[in-house]
Structure 1
Amino acid sequence: MAGHRIFKLAFSDLYPNYTQKAERKGRTKAEVDEIICWLTGYSQAQLDELIEPGNPVNLEEFFRDAPKMNIARSQITGTICGVKIAEIEDPLMLEIRYLDKLIDELAKGKAMEKILRTLPTPA
């Protein structure tokens, strides 16, 4: 069975959609980058290279080559694009929807500590 056509979409083409969605809601590119790095293990320098306009790395390659997918991503639940995350069977589509869900939570004003599934640091 052939993969979904989104798998071949260049990450550098999708990335501006994430930042625009966040910025429209008063969030920042830095927060988007922090989420992506948290989820995938890419460093900021690696991410900067991947989001360079014209970079041909597609979503399949982006997730396949991610340095270390965060184990806490299994805590991401809910619905994205009308589909329950728990019901997504394709492993690559699940990774894509995890990222979509995190960006959605950012745009909805959720605190970064909650988005990144971490405990707040005591004051």
Structure 2
Amino acid sequence: HCTFLHSLFGSQAGLACLKCAACAEGAEANVNCPTCHPTLRRLAEPLPPAHHMLSRLLCRISGRPMDESNPPYVLPNGSVYSYKALAAMAEANDGLVTDPATLQDFLIADARKAYVS
């Protein structure tokens, strides 16, 4: 019984370090976020979000960081995704990208690089 409690406490301590204000479910969830995963989300629900000193932008399509080698791009409707994820989608769809949040289609040429300050 004690081992189960230690295991549960250890799991929640780890999730508390990872949980952020952006953690969500459904279409809003990040594919690589353990606290967004349906199974672990229940354990993380009562925990407060961690205090992060540095922010990282993660692509909601690929779950990968958006940085200088994979910059964020803004679609005409305002949604932001990584260039590599949009480029892969465009290559498979004759230059079209589909926003997974709204299901709107756009030409990749209409996406604009975002600059984070």
Task: Give the TM-score normalised by structure 2.
Answer: 0.26
Give the structure with the larger strand fraction.
2
Q: Which has the larger radius of gyration?
A: 2
Where relative contact order (Cα < 8 A, 6+ residues apart) is larger, the structure is: 1
Task: Give the TM-score normalised by structure 1.
Answer: 0.25
